[in-house]
Structure 1
Amino acid sequence: MQETSLADPVLMLAGLLLLATSSAILLKRIRFPYTIGLVIIGMILASLAQYSNQLELLHRVELSHDLIMYVLLPVLIFGAALHIKIPHMFREMKTVMTLAVPGVVLSMLIIGYLLNVLTPLTLAGAMLFGALISATDPVAVIALFKEVGAPDRMLMLMDVESLFNDATAIVVFGIVLSVVQSGSGFTGWMLLEGIGSFIEVFFGGILVGGVLGLSMCWLLKLGRGSPFVQIANSTILAYGSFIIADHIFGFSGVMSTIAAGLVIRSSIGELLSNQVRQLIEPYWDFIVFIANSLVFLLLGFKESLLIKSPERLLDAFPWLLIAIVVVLLARFLVVYLLLPASDVFLRGREVDMKVKAIIFWGGLRGVVPVALMVSIPSDMEYQNLIIDMTLAVILFSLLVQGTTVNWLMCRLRVNQKYHIVRAAMKKLGG
């Protein structure tokens, strides 16, 4: 029998999915967040792989930039966009855009300046780290907040903010990296070029996604009598909108996929028959579950790099601790300074103190910083320290913030489950 190079990867994929589904059952029984549990399981598995020949295949698993950007992220972004209630999104646009654009830039500047002062990082390296770590990650945030039963408005705010500021962070990181690689330093002219580049990349992505979404609407109308054709076309749009915008035009793939998803979402009643509407939501829930499972397992494999070299971890520990505190401080200042300022100067719905607390503490980091981290040139000074800082901040946000955000929502009495239980108790008492 002729051997094929695809056998091992397919077997490994099946094994990872079996591990994910088995873990889902266990984690549900012990009432532990599924996504965070997978990170821990991934770390344990990667550590065991060092001592087991049976787990040798895991050494070949790599959470690479292309795997995240071109395989996993498009379906996760598109699936999230399909669930966005567009009128609600526009009502929250003031808050979302405040956090997503000036919030990311302010966070990058705070982190960059403080880490340049407090750690060995150069200003260029500190700003680069600030750019890649400033955005909350849509994969981690959306998955967790659905699990813990966040209120509808809070879920909307966190969903849309994490999607938009993820796009901003990717664009800003690219601009900062190009400045660092040019070696010309930051000048006034460079700032103007950066603003122009940001507008082009950000809104260019929206344009590409909008055009592709409208084009797909035409195809979906033609395939109205073929449910599986329509569902397949939605998948094609998810990947096509991201890769065409990012890889071909150099625009924001995230914004393109969001725009394409929102176009389909706004026209879904006209385009899809009742049969397809009943099928498409479970289909995308399934695709997102698979992608989420792989993302968090592989993120656990990547996080295991922190503990594989105890000596390196011990040497870098003070800088890692400083990075965690500085990232939290930057998020705190963005939420508690920018949002009140936007309430004064911009019209829109105000965000109360309880919601601000959840937005601050629930700002998790996930796989997108990893994708940006691995794209840093290997010859850049302090590359290893930036990698270690990124992994440390992600691990803290998932294991500490992620496991306590539900407790915080209960303490603040903003958890849906809290209100359901309270209403049931009132009913019984009345």
Structure 2
Amino acid sequence: PCACLADALILPFLLVFHLSRKVTSIVPESCLLILLGLGLGGIVLAVAKKAEYQLEPNMFFLFLLPPIVLDSGYFMPSRLFFDNIGAILTYAVVGTLWNSFTTGTALWGLHRAGLVDPGVEAGLMDFLLFGSLISAVDPVAVLAVFEEVHVNETLFIIVFGESLLNDAVTVVLYKVFNSFVELGPAHIHATDYMKGVASFFLVSLGGTAVGLLFAFLLALITRFTKRVRIIEPLFVFLLAYVAYLAAEMVSLSSILAVTFCGICCKKYVEANISQKSRTTVKYTMKTLASSSETIIFMFLGISAVDTSKWAWDTALVLGTLFFILLFRAVGVVLQTCVLNRFRLIPLDRIDQVVMSYGGLRGAVAFALVILLDRAKVKAKDYFVATTIVVVFFTVIVQGLTIKPLVTWLKVKRSDHHKPTLNEELHEHTFDHILAAVEDIVGHHGYHYWREK
């Protein structure tokens, strides 16, 4: 009910916002929603004398996040995604591991040096746990800001693909360090570290396998719906959501499951269903995703006014902001130096600046920090306050300044145009030729498997 109320209150503001070209060219929609959420939360707090509504983790992960991820996966430019899959996986896996460990260790060093308030009762494992949740680039925030900036397709797909796929690393690290905190440093053995490494592969590959399984099932079912066209959109949404729930139930990566379900089923589903069903799926999916984004950013603003759930330490907040920006930039530069040796089209310094600055945090970090057990993690209240500041800073400050930065750096923008018949013929011809060459020489590489 409160989510519906939020949507009803915000619709007039969004209408005015999008009708004002001057405002939309400067302020991202996500920034406006958070600020309105803060205002609405302040009004509710002043009237009721307590914070009535919060962004609940269960509501976020079970109902708000799936439509956004499904929309992103289903309408993902799959060719561009798989052309850059090596870079995306590198930034998502290696980059997230780098950011998590370096940020957590640096904050622990800050604490050991006596620069953090003594009231922050946290050890190395506590800071590594916090580093794992605060370092992940958030797909909701990235999608909300980068779609309005209109950077070129390659840069967008790398940053957005990274934000989607780093969920596996984030969830595994979060669960591993959370279990370590619960066990206590004295009870951690070498086998526990091995289990943590194994669980990373299990969670990520298992979630992907679940998504592919349901994508195959959805493609198969839609082959036999010619006489019942009216239920085709229902099957698309139902099976995609069941894939998400199935992965969540067995502790696998639900975001990877629904992402790869959407990416892999679209080609076959759209060939099987009717034109009316395709139109229904498209606009329903976009509507659900847009509504979920609105509710998420509104409730982020509303949740921030509840001061009973957070405690403030300036050194921890400023240290976290400094370290996430520093290590994000260092990580991008180091990884790009390696990747450019293997890329046909290297990522230049301007692209690296935008990628470093575009590492936005969002509701995923906030939901994970709220899930921490205060009895086990003594510094939870300090971590909650720091996470709120980091999310607001990246979404509002970086979100407001990234468009002027892109303009000032003269970053190549996206060129949205429908390919001509000549372009499509040349593209498919070269794809078939390269796949045939790989087949003749007996090397089953990228082009061979794409043909399959």
Query: Same fold by TM (over 0.5)?
Result: yes
Aligned pairs (5 A) from 1:24-423: 24-28=14-18, 29=20, 30-31=23-24, 32-53=27-48, 59-119=51-111, 120=116, 121-184=122-185, 188-247=190-249, 249-305=250-306, 308=307, 312-313=311-312, 316-344=313-341, 346=342, 349-379=345-375, 380-414=377-411, 416=413
How far apart in 2 are the matches of 1:272 and 1:351?
Answer: 39
Which letter maps to 1:382? A
Q: 1:312, CA displacement in angstroms?
A: 4.5
Q: Which residue of the partner structure matches residue 6 of structure 2? A: 16
Q: Is the deviation greater in 317-326 or in 225-234?
A: 225-234
How far apart in 1 are the matches of 2:174 and 2:226?
Answer: 41
Q: Which runs of 5+ in 2 are unaligned?
A: 117-121, 418-452
Deviation by residue 1:20-79 (Cα, 9 ceiling, x = unmatched) = 2122123332222111110111011111111125xx8x9442211211111111111111
- Name the CA shift for 1:160/1:418 in 2 (closer, same or farther; >3 Å): closer
Which letter maps to 1:51? A
Q: 1:389, CA displacement in angstroms?
A: 1.3
Q: Which residue of the partner structure matches residue 423 of structure 1? A: none
- The percentage of counterpart residues that share the same residue type is 23
Matched-pair contact (CA < 8 Å) for 1:100–1:165: yes
Matched-pair contact (CA < 8 Å) for 1:116–1:123: yes
Q: 1:226, CA displacement in angstroms?
A: 3.8
Q: Secondary structure at the match of 2:373?
A: coil
How far apart in 2 are the matches of 1:161 and 1:144?
Answer: 15
- Name the CA shift for 1:337/1:417 in 2 (closer, same or farther; >3 Å): closer
How far apart in 1 are the matches of 2:149 and 2:9?
Answer: 22
Q: Is the deviation greater in 348-357 or in 319-328?
A: 348-357
Q: Secondary structure at the match of 1:50?
A: helix
Matched-pair contact (CA < 8 Å) for 2:311–2:382: no
Deviation by residue 1:188-207 (Cα, 9 ceiling, x = unmatched) = 43332211111011100111
Deviation by residue 1:73-132 (Cα, 9 ceiling, x = unmatched) = 111111100111212111111210111001111111110110001134421111011100
Matched-pair contact (CA < 8 Å) for 1:91–1:349: no
Q: 1:302, CA displacement in angstroms?
A: 1.9
How far apart in 1 are the matches of 2:381 and 2:344?
Answer: 43
Deviation by residue 1:149-180 (Cα, 9 ceiling, x = unmatched) = 22222221122111001232122211221122
- Name the CA shift for 1:237/1:60 in 2 (closer, same or farther; >3 Å): farther
Q: Which residue of the partner structure matches residue 6 of structure 1? A: none
How far apart in 1 are the matches of 2:141 and 2:315?
Answer: 26
How far apart in 2 are the matches of 1:224 and 1:164?
Answer: 35
Moved over 6 A (4+): 417-420
Deviation by residue 1:177-227 (Cα, 9 ceiling, x = unmatched) = 112212246654333221111101110011111111211222222224444
How far apart in 1 are the matches of 2:414 and 2:344?
Answer: 28
Q: Secondary structure at the match of 2:46?
A: coil
Q: 1:136, CA displacement in angstroms?
A: 0.7
Task: Report how many aligned residue pairs link the two structures.
Answer: 401
Which letter maps to 1:336? V
Q: Which runs of 5+ in 1 are unaligned?
A: 1-8, 421-430
How far apart in 1 are the matches of 2:255 and 2:281?
Answer: 21
How far apart in 1 are the matches of 2:87 and 2:30?
Answer: 27
Which letter maps to 1:168? V
Q: 1:311, CA displacement in angstroms?
A: 11
Q: Which residue of the partner structure matches residue 424 of structure 1? A: none
How far apart in 2 are the matches of 1:255 and 1:198?
Answer: 13
Q: Which residue of the partner structure matches residue 426 of structure 1? A: none
How far apart in 2 are the matches of 1:224 and 1:354?
Answer: 50
Matched-pair contact (CA < 8 Å) for 2:332–2:356: yes
How far apart in 2 are the matches of 1:140 and 1:208?
Answer: 26
Q: TM-score, normalised by structure 1?
A: 0.88
